[in-house]
Structure 1
């Protein structure tokens, strides 16, 4: 294609099509020189056409649907399947309501947003290989970065707008710094007493190793991203004005670097590797969201006070969950990990007061009382995302640990539909040998009913679930799963189960 278009003196040129999949680095250079690029950007990022920017970004070959051997991609940090075909019916020019944050557009949106953020960071394959060379070239090229820069505000608007809905204000709005200190102390005490439902579910699972492995996959989806984002926020020439912030943020990243061996050993206990995107298909929407929120704030210098609020929440979270993570890994994998032995903050009242004094007081002196509101916003949003993650992980663990029960429920629901003569919406698929369904979620409860053929169904790295002629399984909405066809072809049906019927079973 070419962007060298005829222009009329005194008028901007017609905007170039930045969603064109054939756009090259040379085209971008020509467009920038002509001034056409600015006009194209201004036109593209507003209005209904915003969704086209997301589709254009998702069309990158590195994000193509997964192939049958790509359940994991340990050797290729750039291979990030997104399911771009689903963007034909999704709409990222809208906002995602709070009740639907676990929907498919949330999962795919956070996958794409993480890819945008990661394209600015260095990732290396564990060993030379042609696949990583090919996907790395697609991942890092200038056209991909431009499309990412255009899609980023669209995705952030879609994915994070809900956080402003019903956002709680400070618990002690008239108490200033004293009220903030009191709220942080109370929250830390609550988290210590109740680290999360996911850990309680984890303790009750029958296959403890499988469940612990999946929980560690989710930790690996957000913790490295969070530490990297905090390191990015430490960069800048603000040290003379705020002498303590840079040191504290850099210290967080230096601890992460120093803990590299312990982190590798922690994942190694579950036979997992540390590579970026190694288990891309098995990261929950909410796991990606926790890392993406810190990336989002770290890339917006005007939101530095919010970033500090999210940073303090992370420290409280790490202190509150260190013991239960250690217990869970020891119970599920048989080793006591060193990684959680020394969290960066004890979360005592004194330690929290010192953190507020070091981070918030100097910024308040520089920028005024609005700093407290912004800090609280960052803290509250991080708290809300963590609660969503906790419920999401707890529900996923419980479902994955009860597959046989969900097979039995599927049989019962099917018998009920037939016996009562009830018609429900139904999708039918005919897939060929070795065809793979990139992991995804459904926005409604579904049965999977195999009419003929064989497939592997999966929701973890630990094993695959074999399904064949006549087998059925119930998949609740928002539960992450994928499949691979094993036979020459496989015909299967997916009846959509209404909420009220689902609750009966």
Structure 2
């Protein structure tokens, strides 16, 4: 994996957002020597090692997705830098091991046993696809309550962008081959996503219009640095399935669940966006409220159930595994997104917490691992996470601490902030030089008299 540091597209950029390149994917390769790329557990699911592996997988999976900029005078040379045999060889070597390390434990959680038949499966499916009437207290509810709703809506759209901009490109892998009527039904879903060949109606085009209408960049992976670990994890699951024909039936289960769940979710997102940005273009979400009820029916009645009739009970466990994995990943994404929204919303509280525990932490500094940094103006830290709570204190200069996109705290000498475990953050030096320290305090509550 250290070999990836040789490729400029994977090195740190000069900004937290990428305004020009459609191929830039910062992986922080300078940190690779200090990472133990161990198999992910539930406890380490959102840790830095897992995050790095998910970023790496997404970057390598997309070696077979074609991205082109609006224009370039050196496009042939650019393509040879972004796509080349060395990278494809690395992808072939690294991806299987990364998949096992990232998804092994999660997949082992889904044990599908017993004797399945059509009646049992359809009863199970009905419980999974039945629309919920419960009042949901989730990330969208948190955004409604946030002090800066526009900021949080834009952050939500960034999480959607990892999948929505190259929308259904995963599915296109299963448009190839020859497997009967189910293939034609799959292709019709794909055609819908691609606007039946009309670029203005293509779903990713509609999503770009949403982004632009709320003042955001619309080039692919402009917000790579702010994708959450769980957003990448979910996206990588569908990459993994569609690159593995032997897991086709698991994919059918997962995509059937996803298509049936996505329409109602899009209705709620549309309402939220229109509440915050009254002039926003929400056609993408309006379209999916409509089309995904159709796609949900199609994936169920024209793909999944006919395949079950055709091949019998042996494929039900794979269907169930895909459905359960989609549910698990959806739950993980919600938890991660809610935690990040809360962390961003409470940024002033984490600054105050740091000031409140400053004396106690520094009194114990001999027993705490400390990183001493001395960086020049413009030095940028690509957003990342830590495996435990950290205490950041500036000794000299001015540091812009990034809690999330357009969510900053400027720290002068003597000022500090607590960095919550697993929360995305970065930094930018604003003075000629800045000296600051990062103290690995483990759990801030051992120094504090209250919890956030």
Query: 1:280 and 1:483 mapped to 2: Cα distance?
Result: 16
Stretches of structure 1 that go unaligned for 5 or more consecutive residues are: 1-53
8 Å CA contact 2:40–2:50 kept in 1: the answer is yes
Shift of 1:469: 1.0
Give SS of 2:210's match: helix
Shift of 1:434: 1.5
Does residue 410 in structure 1 map to residue 354 in structure 2? yes
Cross-structure match for 2:180 = 239
Cross-structure match for 2:287 = 342
TM-score of the superposed pair, with normalisation by structure 1: 0.81
Q: 1:237 to 1:104 in 2, by over 3 A?
A: same
Q: 1:195 to 1:225 in 2, by over 3 A?
A: farther
- 2:3 corresponds, among 56, 59, 70, to 56
- 1:71 corresponds, among 6, 10, 16, to 16
Cross-structure match for 1:488 = 432
Shift of 1:387: 0.8
Shift of 1:102: 0.5
Query: 1:481 and 1:214 mapped to 2: Cα distance?
Result: 13
Give SS of 2:168's match: helix
Cross-structure match for 1:356 = 300
Q: 1:151 to 1:354 in 2, by over 3 A?
A: closer
Does residue 298 in structure 1 map to residue 298 in structure 2? no
Cross-structure match for 1:221 = 162
Cross-structure match for 1:453 = 397
CA RMSD of aligned residues (A): 2.8
Q: 1:345 to 1:304 in 2, by over 3 A?
A: farther
Is 309-318 or 208-217 further displaced after alignment?
A: 309-318
Shift of 1:311: 0.8
Q: 1:250 to 1:430 in 2, by over 3 A?
A: same
Cross-structure match for 2:62 = 118
Does residue 166 in structure 1 map to residue 109 in structure 2? yes
Query: 2:427 and 2:417 mapped to 1: Cα distance?
Result: 13
- 1:91 corresponds, among 36, 43, 49, to 36
Does residue 140 in structure 1 map to residue 93 in structure 2? no
Does residue 479 in structure 1 map to residue 420 in structure 2? no
8 Å CA contact 1:138–1:144 kept in 2: the answer is no
Give SS of 2:315's match: helix
Shift of 1:296: 1.1
8 Å CA contact 1:78–1:135 kept in 2: the answer is no
Q: 1:465 to 1:341 in 2, by over 3 A?
A: same
Cross-structure match for 1:16 = none
Q: Deviations over 1:132-167 (max 9, x none)?
A: 877643220111111111111121111111212322
Cross-structure match for 1:262 = 206
Does residue 394 in structure 1 map to residue 338 in structure 2? yes
Cross-structure match for 2:441 = 497
TM-score of the superposed pair, with normalisation by structure 2: 0.89
Query: 2:182 and 2:68 mapped to 1: Cα distance?
Result: 36
Query: 1:183 and 1:203 mapped to 2: Cα distance?
Result: 34
Shift of 1:75: 1.3
Q: 1:385 to 1:281 in 2, by over 3 A?
A: same
Query: 1:404 and 1:129 mapped to 2: Cα distance?
Result: 46
Query: 1:71 and 1:343 mapped to 2: Cα distance?
Result: 30
